Chain A
Amino acid sequence: DIQMTQSPSSLSASVGDRVTITCRAGRTITIYLNWYQVKPGEAPQLLISAASSLQNGVPSRFSGSGSGTDFTLTISSLQPEDFATYYCQQSYTTLPTFGQGTRLEIK
């Protein structure tokens, strides 16, 4: 398995803040990295694929970067609807694995 480690595990921020979440892979995964937003009671949403490709319909304040083992998800200006838990996930192997999640809370 490829272990995915996110930091921080939780984060408090205010509307309008710029936020960065980091994801590190246990070994190189080139750009085979996806980001998801999960809210209780809702269908999870794919935000970014291939490390930096924004999905259709996802606001442009979300961006992703990185390659190899280190990746980041950045939200440029937090909106109220962005408070959720975010997960990275590698698809480099046929055993997909997720990070442990980063819970983004309102300060």
Chain B
Amino acid sequence: QVQLQESGPGLVKPSETLFLTCSVSGGSISSNYWSWIRQPPGKGLEWIGYIYHSGSTNYSPSLKSRVAISVDTSKNQFSLNLSSVTAADTAVYYCARMSIVRAGTNFDMWGQGTMVTVSS
């Protein structure tokens, strides 16, 4: 059973860079697509982007200028970099596996999420 676990600082200062890592266990990261999704307090889910094990990426247009997702197959991990953060980036950040199915894709495995607060 594949499991995902997010890790990283819970507090980031405004204008700095948020960096999170997702560790994948119980399966290889060298298959499927891997995503980051966030949920601001009191709001809904927002897709941030995904990466394929080969390194190809796709990002939400609203965040594209500030986001970078990378993968380290040797560590079975992938990471999120979000630069120039503001209070609006305060959210629970989830990593998830994105699988291709007969009708599009779905997020079939998720981490428990990690709360990141942007504050000085």
Interface class of chain A by DSSP = loop
12 A–B contact pairs at CB < 8 A?
A: A30-B103, A34-B106, A34-B107, A36-B45, A38-B39, A43-B112, A49-B101, A94-B58, A95-B61, A96-B47, A98-B45, A100-B43
Determine if B44 and A101 form an interchain contact, defined as CB atoms under 8 angstroms apart. Answer: yes
Determine if B105 and A91 form an interchain contact, defined as CB atoms under 8 angstroms apart. Answer: yes
Q: How far is the CA of A97 from the CA of B45 in the complex (A)?
A: 8
- A100 contacts which chain B residues (CB < 8 A)? 43-44
Determine if B110 and A49 form an interchain contact, defined as CB atoms under 8 angstroms apart. Answer: no
Which B residues lie at the A interface, using CB under 8 A?
4, 39, 43-47, 58, 60-61, 94, 96, 101-113
- B105 contacts which chain A residues (CB < 8 A)? 91, 96
Known: A92-B104, A96-B105. 18 other contacts (CB 8 A): A32-B103, A38-B39, A41-B112, A43-B109, A43-B110, A43-B112, A44-B96, A44-B107, A44-B110, A45-B110, A50-B104, A87-B44, A91-B103, A91-B106, A95-B60, A95-B61, A100-B44, A101-B45
Q: How far is the CA of A56 from the CA of B94 in the complex (A)?
A: 22
Minimum CB–CB distance from B36 to chain A (whole Å) comes to 12
Determine if A95 and B47 form an interchain contact, defined as CB atoms under 8 angstroms apart. Answer: yes
A-B contact count (CB 8 A): 71
Which A residues lie at the B interface, using CB under 8 A?
1, 30-34, 36, 38, 41-46, 49-51, 53, 55, 87, 89-92, 94-101
- B47 contacts which chain A residues (CB < 8 A)? 95-98
Minimum CB–CB distance from B41 to chain A (whole Å) comes to 11
Determine if A46 and B61 form an interchain contact, defined as CB atoms under 8 angstroms apart. Answer: no
- A33 contacts which chain B residues (CB < 8 A)? 103
